[in-house]
Amino acid sequence: MVSQPSEMVELFGEDTVQHLDSNLYRVRLSAIRLANAGLLAEDGKVVYGNPRWTKGPKGKLVARGIKGETGEIQKSETKKMEELRASIQEEGLENPLRVRPVQIDDKWVFEVINGERRFRSLADLCKRDVIAIDPFTREERPASEIYEWVHCRINEMDDETALQLSLRPNDTGEAIGDVASVEVVRTLRACSKSDEEILYLTGKSVTWLKETDSLLSLDDQTFQALQDEEINRKVALSLAKVEDIEVRQQRLEGVKQRALERWIAAKQKLAESIDEDQVAREIAEAEMVVAEFDEDEEGVQEAQEELESLEESLDKKQEELEDLEEEGPKGKGPDLQETSDDFKPLTQSKIQKRLYEPVMEIIECEDDDEDHEHLSIQLEIDIDDARLTQTILELIMGKLDASDTDAIKNILQKHFEAKMMK
């Protein structure tokens, strides 16, 4: 469509775009728009849409790093978005937006390919007309004046190239998340893309692709738990290996319950620690009053230092508690292990250490001199039962000949006779 910078300027007009150098331009913020939410497959072809956005519960669009409906920023947005907006307000836009020219209803606009979070931050600052620092003059001015024009890197590209660039990491970017990554692969599979093509477009490893393909096999309930961040990727991958959906969902509920318990315990521990610091602060404040009354300068200084330390600790713990509240319970690897009913068979060395050696300790204590207290009596264990256990373990470990099919019957018969003799 456009081969020269002059043609780009001619197409949009100098009141909309101005060429600076190479593919770097100044573009009016009003001429930039966000891409549609979510990648699509139509007629076997990729139709570009921001891959960060996926459909959450009840069909609502959600995106990692951004909260709220598409096109707006709400008070519940993530802390990273708040930090990014504050950074732009105080330091300016460090990295240009990556955009491409697209025609919509006979009108040419610039579509954001890389930099949605930066664009949203700029749009919000300008909409509220926040006073910001002009990065060039270091003067305070309304954001709508500073960012009437925005630096952008403009490239013409097809939908697949747009996808590739949008997935490319950058210093200020936020990863699109596991669920969005799964949806990207799902769409590319629907377009009959080979493994090699998917790896090229996503820039990921073969292992990542295999794991993501396994997440595609998850049932709706388990996949929803991943999307709602009730479980992490590791847990989801482990659950994907469970073929029986009913068993998988039972384990999922176990993971969620264990995560909830751990989350409640962590909140309680933090709350108790905050209470302790608040009590300590009250004591330090009282000591400050006493020291001031006694005109004890050293005491005042010590109390002041203690107060500052406690205030810092309280602020940090309060922030941790707020982060914990916002994050909510999230199932992790240990939660899955505690709910799994799959047990690995014991090896010979583990049988020796965990079973045989403790049994032999009981028997040896029984056979020892009277200087030793009888361990079997302490544990209320019959010594003949211990010897029977020793014999069975030796059979399992190959220390005794187990070729005789009646061997275990003979052992049990002898054990019975020994007990009857008592």
Structure token pair of residue 225: 């738990």
End-to-end CA distance of the chain: 101
Within 10 angstroms of residue 175's Cβ, the number of other Cβ atoms is 12
* pLDDT value at residue 422: 64
pLDDT score at 356: 86
| pLDDT tens-digit series, residues 335-365 | 877 555 554 567 788 888 888 888 888 888 7
Residue with tokens 């210093």: 171
User: What amino acid occupies position 162?
Assistant: A
Angstrom CA distances, 261 to 256, 273, 314, 327, stand at 9, 18, 24, 14
Reading the chain (422 residues) residue by residue, the pLDDT tens digits are 666 788 888 888 889 999 999 999 999 999 999 999 889 999 999 999 999 888 766 667 777 767 544 444 444 456 778 888 999 999 999 899 999 999 888 889 999 999 998 999 999 999 999 999 999 899 999 999 999 999 999 999 999 999 999 987 654 566 788 889 999 999 999 999 999 999 999 999 999 999 999 999 999 999 989 988 899 999 999 999 999 999 999 999 999 999 999 999 999 999 999 999 999 999 999 999 999 998 889 989 999 999 999 999 999 999 899 888 888 899 988 887 755 555 456 778 888 888 888 888 888 876 665 544 444 445 567 777 888 888 888 888 887 776 666 667 777 777 777 777 76
Whole-number Å distance between alpha carbons of 179 and 39: 13
* Helical packing angle, 383-396 and 357-367, nearest 10°: 140
Q: What is the pLDDT of residues 245-257, one digit of tens each?
A: 999 999 999 999 9
The domain ranges of the chain are 5-174, 245-339, 348-420
Which residues have a Cβ under 8 Å from the Cβ of 117 and sit 6 or more positions away? 65, 66, 81, 84, 172, 173, 174
Whole-structure pTM value: 0.67
